[in-house]
Structure 1
Amino acid sequence: MSQTPVPPYVGAGAAPAPAEVAAARPKTSAAAVVALVAAALALVPVAVVVGIVALFRIRRLRLRGKRAAVVALSLCAGWMALAMVGIIGAAAYVGSSQGPVSAFAVGKCFDYVNGQNSRSGVHIIDCGQPHAGQIVGRHTFSGSFPGLQKATEESVVECTVDAARHIVDVGRLDDVARVSTYVPTQSMWDNDIKSTTCVLTNSDGQPRYDDALLRPDMTPARASVLSLTSESALFRLKLRYATGAVWQDAAAMETRLATVDRTEAAALTHLASAPPAGGRGDLPSLLRTLATEDLREAVLAESAATQATSPDAWRTLAVTGKATSLQARTAYDAVRAAL
């Protein structure tokens, strides 16, 4: 007699059917996956929004993927921190290379931020690149603000003196070169800007291409002679293009030129007795000639300083050749050629 097979007994510890396993396992949140991918691609706004939505949906619907959403938000925080570091670094760089001309050291070359408007500030660039100008001198005032006119007269002299110490070869400057001064006003003084800045630019608006504070072929002979003659040479250059509008500045420069010429003449006479090695054989006689012309120019400069009492008076002096000595300039050029 045949028997009907008895199905196996399914006890309490038996494994559930495959369909039951699939029904019990929660789904992974698609939003969490999208947030993680977006965060990895640095799509921070997308990753933040989708990541937050994923966390809410995971909690409400009991989905999987919480760890992925948290990692996505953590990556976003890292990207934002990195961006802040970049912004701060960029701001620091711009702050160190852009600002008022008074904020930068002598020797820096620059372009104007807004055309030729220095009030908008300057942007520092390498002197090997075409540039609008170079900072070549500075004069810091002491005491209280002397008034704009007195400050200008003092600045045009003292800042030029400082520029002459830094420009290695004034005679190398061409006819369009101009040494200008940025004098602090009362409002600038009140904001603790108490120095005048001398800048070297071109009067025709064309860029400069050299570093006036460097000369690769500078020899000991050149250095010893040019250091003695640079101040008078720079004052001659400035006086050549001084207009009637700045006659008071011109008078102040003439007074200084007279003093400089006499000091220079004594130094050149002494140097002629023991000229530096490396110059031409006629260098001693050329030094004595320049010393003689310096003394003659000193008398001319003193006279010009007393006669420059108005714009018209200064124009007359300039037109008639009584502002500086052409002979002194010629003698200076001859000395430079012999070095």
Structure 2
Amino acid sequence: MPLEPLAVASVVTGALALGPVAGVLGFLALRRIRARGTRGRGLAWIGLALGVVGTLVLVGVLVGTALTARNQRPLPADVTAPREAHARQLVTGSCVDPLPTGAEVDAVRVVPCGDPHAAQVVTEYAFDDAAVWPGQAAADARVAASCDLTPTERDAGVRAVAWAPTAASWARGDRLGLCLATTDAGKLTGSFLDGTVHLP
């Protein structure tokens, strides 16, 4: 009794991480074995199982890639409604509330700048893509040096907060520093960029 070649092919493609192909071949092999009486039922089941597992892994990778891409897609400069976002999505003009205070900022709440907010991104500092990690102190200093508030803003109690990449985020490809304008006196409304900001 000959060995069903599709059963062998399903195992081989499953071992090569071609999940969908292995699953289809394993299914077809079982049908042919049943119809023709050939050998290889065990191999066909193994190929089918490898196909199912491989397909699930592939779907997981695709979903993870899509979510990562979504979490890195820049936001509009001014959103139309409050939303949760990743810090790497912020751009010049983004308004946030509250202002995160941790050593590494990840999730932020972005709000329309016309709503009361704690801070606004006023400048960005882009490290060179090929740059070597300079160390946390140097990264913080470079971003802080890019923060440029006017004397009027400083006299009104506005201060700058610099967000630089951390060693961990740098290893993930983060090369963007952000400078945010905020005040300790209360919530801001409006935007620093167009001169509509209202200080508390």
TM bracket, shorter-chain basis: 0.3 to 0.5
TM-score, normalised relative to structure 2? 0.48
**Greater RCO, CA 8 A, separation 6+:** 2
Larger strand share, 1 or 2: 2
